[in-house]
Amino acid sequence: MKRETTKRLTAMGMSVAMAAGLFTTMGTTAVWAEDSAPKATAADNGIELPELEDGTLHLEVSIADYQQSSDGTLVQEKWQEAMENYLGCKLDITWTRTPATDYQANELVVLQSGSVPDIATVTKGSAVNEYGEDGTLLNLADYSDYMVYYPEYMKETNGGENFAKNEDGSMYYFMDGFYNPDDIQGAQSFTAFAYRFDLLKENGWQPAATLDEFTQLCSDMQAKIDDGSLDLDYVIINNTKDYSLYRGFVGIFHTWDCLYYNGEEWVFGPIEDNFRECLKYLNSLYEAGYIDPEFATADFNQGQTKATTNVGGICPTLWSGSVASWNAAKTDDNMEWGLAYLPENTEYGTAWKWGSRQAAKSLNANMGIYISAETEHPEYAVAMIDYQYSDEMVNLMNWGVEGETYTEADGTKTFVDDILNDATPATKSAEYGLTSSSVCRTGIPFNPIDFNAMLEVASNPEPWWNAEKGYYEGKYWVESDANGGEDSVSPYDRAPVTYLTAEESSAKAELGYGGTCETRVKELALQFITGENDINDDDAWEDYIDDIKSQTDEDFDEIIETLNEKTVK
C-alpha cells in the first residue's frame, strides 16, 4: 500500500516528457562515470551494522519540501541506489513532503505530540534539544560508532565539536552542512547599496567608496533633482517597510541592529554609541531632504514600484536579487540598477557585512535532521544520515552525475549546457533534483550544499561596481566577498558557542530580530531619523535606552550577562 502511494506520487511528480528521459538513464548505468559515483560502503568504513530480518530497511521520513520536489528526479534515484549500496540493504522509505513554509508551522506540534517519524527535517534548530532531553529524539552522541563523515564537519566548524553538541555532550540533531571549497566568505544581503548606474554614468558620478563620498553624492544628486535636470523624486528610497532603513547602515558604523557578538562579548547594538552615530548620520540625510518620506511606510510591492518608476536613485537597504528583479521589470530601457559594496566610514574601517559564509566545511545550527528514539534500527538511520555528509554524496546531490549533469576538466566542475543555457538554470537543475539549485532538496534535507555548484546555477549576475574594476557584472555572494574582504566579516558571524537553557533562549529571543526590544528600537530609531526626537539631545538618548531596556520581561542587563557567562571562549 505504502509502496503504491509512493510510486503513484513519483508518477505524478514528473512531467511526461521528463519521465521519458529519466527512465532511459535509469536503465543504463553505463553513463554513470565510475570515478565520481558514490561507492563507499559502511562495511568498508569499519561500521558494523546489525543484520536486518528481510534485508530491507523500512523508514518513515518527513521532510520539508522546497519549490520543486525531488521525488522522481535523476539525483534522487541515484541517492537511493548509493544509500542502498552504502548500507548494504534495500531501502523502503515512506516520504511525507510538506512545503517548507508550512513545515515550520507543523514541526513543533508534531514534536510536542511526542509521536515523531523515524527521521525528519529540523527547521527550528536548537529548539528541538528539549525533545531530545525527554527521550523523544535519539541522542546521536550514543551512536558515534556509526558515523564517519559528520564528525569531520563538526571539527571544521567555528567552535569545533562544542558547536554541534550540547553542554553535556549530547546531540539530538544533525546540523545543516555547508561546503565552501573556494572559501568565498560572501554575504547574503544588506551588504551593498543599490544605485541607478545609468544616472551615475550619465552625470559622471560613481558609487560611493566612503561615507563622505556617499554624502557628497547625495548632495550632488539632490542639486540636480532640484534644478530639474534629474528625473527623480528623491535621492534615497527604501526597499520595504519590513526592513528599517538603518539596517543597511549599521555595518558601516561597526555595530548591529539587534543583539550581537562584537568579538569580545554579547551586546545589544541599538544602545551603543556607534548606533547613535549611525542615527545621527541618517538624521542628517533626512533633514537634507534626501530620503523619500514614505521610507518607513511603503510595503514591498510599493518599494518595487518606486524603484522601477524613477522615484529614487539610491536604495541602501535591500535584499540581494532585488536589483536583478528591478532591472527585469523596468519600463524605461535606459534604467539600470547596480550594486556597490557598503561605503567605508574612515573612522571604523571596512564596513561589516551580515550573514557571511564560513570558509571550508561548516554547520548551521538553525536547520538539520533528527532521528526518533523509537526508530527500529537507529544504527542504520545514523549511518544513513552520516553518509549524506560524505564528499561523494555531497558531489552527487549538488553536481549530479558526471557527463549527465556536469563535466569536470582540470579539477573544475561545470554544469552541462542543458542547464546553464536554460532561461532559469536554477529551475532546470532542480528538474534533475540538484540540491545546489536552492529550489529543490534531494535526499533528506538539510544536507550539505556545495557553494560552487550553487553559485553556478542559483545566483544571477547583477551589475556591480568597485573602484578598481569600475562597472562590471558579478554575483552577490562572490562580490560581497571580493569587495569586503576578510575585514568585512563581522564578529557576529563567527560568534563562539553559547549554551543556553530553553528559558534563556526565549529571553535571548526578546533581543534578537523580531523580538520585543528590536521592534521597539525600530519605532524609536525612526523618530530620531525623522527628527521627531532629537538625536543630539543626551537626555532623549538616555530615555531611549531606558525605554528599550524596560521592554523585556526579565531584566535586560541580566539577559546579556547570562549570555556572556554561558559563552564558551
Partner 1 sequence: MSFGKAKKQNNKIHIGSRAFDVFLIAFMIIVSIIFLYPFLNVIATSLSSNRMITTGQVTFFPKEFHLDGYKALFKDENILGAYWNTIVIAVGTMIVSLVLNSLMAYVMMAPEFVLRKPLSIILLITMFFSGGTVPTYLLIQNLGLYDSWWSLILPNAVSAYNIFIYRSFYQGISPEIREAARIDGASEFQILTKIYVPLSKALYATFGLFSVVGVWNSYYEALLYIKDPAKQPIQMLLRKIVFTSGTANMSDAQQMISNGNLNSLNVQYACVIATIGPILLVYPFIQKYFAQGVQVGAVKG
Partner 2 sequence: MAKRSNTTSIPYAAKKKTFWQLLWKQKALCIMALAPLIMLIIFKYVPMYGILIAFKNYKASKGVWGSNWLEPVLKNFIKFFKNVNSGQIIWNTLKIGVLNLLFTFPAAIIFAILLNELRGKVFKSAVQTISYIPHFLSVVVICSMLNGFGSTTGLFNDVRDFLGMARVDMNNGSQYFLPLYLGSQVWQTVGWSSIMYLSALSNVDVTLYDVANIDGANRWQKIKNIIWPTIKPTTTILLIMNLGNVLNSDYTKILLMQNDTNRSQLEVIGTFVYQKGIVEGKFSYATAVNLFISVIGFALVFGANMITRKINPENSLW
* Chain positions contacting partner 2, by CB under 8 A: 108, 111-112, 114, 127, 130-131, 133-136, 241, 244, 293-294, 296-299, 301-302, 502, 505-506, 509-510, 514-516, 519-520, 522-523, 525-526, 550-551, 553
Beta strand pairing call for 312-315 and 192-196: antiparallel
Provide the 10 A C-beta neighbour count for residue 39: 12
Least Å distance between CB 5 and partner 1? 7
If binding is defined by CB under 8 A, does position 246 make contact with partner 1?
A: no
Q: Are 285 and 293 in contact (CB under 8 A)?
A: no
CA 379, CA 140: separation in Å to the nearest integer? 10
CA 514, CA 567: separation in Å to the nearest integer? 23
Size of the site for partner 1 (CB under 8 A): 50
- Contact range with partner 1 by CB under 8 A, out of 94-102, 268-276, 515-523, 556-564: 94-102
Contacts of partner 1 in 174-193 (CB under 8 A): 188-189
What are the residues whose beta carbons fall under 8 Å from the beta carbon of 376, sequence distance 6 or more? 58, 118
- Strand-pair partners of 178: 362, 449
Picked from partner 2, partner 1, none, the partner binding residue 131 (CB below 5 to 8 A depending on kind) is partner 2
CA 371, CA 145: separation in Å to the nearest integer? 16
Question: What one-character DSSP code corresponds to residue 227?
Answer: T
Picked from partner 2, partner 1, none, the partner binding residue 244 (CB below 5 to 8 A depending on kind) is partner 2
Q: Are 316 and 245 in contact (CB under 8 A)?
A: yes
Note the Cα 483 to chain centre separation in Å: 20
CA nearest to 460, candidates 509, 503, 425: 425
CA 125, CA 369: separation in Å to the nearest integer? 9
What are the residues whose beta carbons fall under 8 Å from the beta carbon of 542, sequence distance 6 or more? none
Among 67, 85, 158, 567, binds partner 1 (CB under 8 A): 67
CA 447, CA 175: separation in Å to the nearest integer? 8
How many angstroms separate the first and last alpha carbons of the chain?
53
Picked from partner 2, partner 1, none, the partner binding residue 188 (CB below 5 to 8 A depending on kind) is partner 1
Q: Are 267 and 560 in contact (CB under 8 A)?
A: yes
Picked from partner 1, partner 2, none, the partner binding residue 273 (CB below 5 to 8 A depending on kind) is none
Least Å distance between CB 316 and partner 2? 16
- Contact range with partner 1 by CB under 8 A, out of 155-163, 251-259, 370-378, 456-464: 456-464
Torsion angle, CA of 275/280/283/288, rounded to 10 degrees?
A: -140
Q: CB-wise, 200 or 560, nearer to partner 2?
A: 560
- Contact range with partner 1 by CB under 8 A, out of 207-215, 216-224, 302-310, 407-415: 302-310
Picked from partner 1, partner 2, none, the partner binding residue 29 (CB below 5 to 8 A depending on kind) is none
Q: CB-wise, 59 or 111, nearer to partner 2?
A: 111
If binding is defined by CB under 8 A, does position 98 make contact with partner 1?
A: yes
Least Å distance between CB 513 and partner 2? 9
Joined together, the cell numbers standing for residue 363 give 554547520
Q: CB-wise, 41 or 304, nearer to partner 2?
A: 304
Least Å distance between CB 395 and partner 1? 22
If binding is defined by CB under 8 A, does position 361 make contact with partner 1?
A: no
Q: Is 455 exposed, middle or buried (0-12, 13-18, 19+ CB in 10 A)?
A: middle
Provide the 10 A C-beta neighbour count for residue 484: 25
Q: Tell me which residue has cell 538513464.
A: 25
If binding is defined by CB under 8 A, does position 458 make contact with partner 1?
A: yes
If binding is defined by CB under 8 A, does position 113 make contact with partner 1?
A: yes
Among 18, 52, 100, 540, binds partner 1 (CB under 8 A): 100
- Contact range with partner 1 by CB under 8 A, out of 21-29, 161-169, 403-411, 424-432: 424-432
Least Å distance between CB 151 and partner 1? 27
- Contact range with partner 1 by CB under 8 A, out of 143-151, 400-408, 422-430, 533-541: 422-430
Note the Cα 464 to chain centre separation in Å: 21
Beta strand pairing call for 56-65 and 119-122: parallel
CA 398, CA 407: separation in Å to the nearest integer? 13
- Contact range with partner 1 by CB under 8 A, out of 25-33, 129-137, 268-276, 317-325: 317-325
CA nearest to 468, candidates 456, 485, 486: 485
Picked from partner 2, partner 1, none, the partner binding residue 72 (CB below 5 to 8 A depending on kind) is none
If binding is defined by CB under 8 A, does position 304 make contact with partner 1?
A: yes
In the complex, which residues of this chain contact partner 1 (CB under 8 A)? 5, 8-9, 12, 67-68, 96-102, 105-106, 109, 112-113, 115, 188-189, 301-302, 304-305, 308-309, 319-322, 324-326, 328-331, 355, 423-424, 426-427, 438-439, 458-460, 476-477
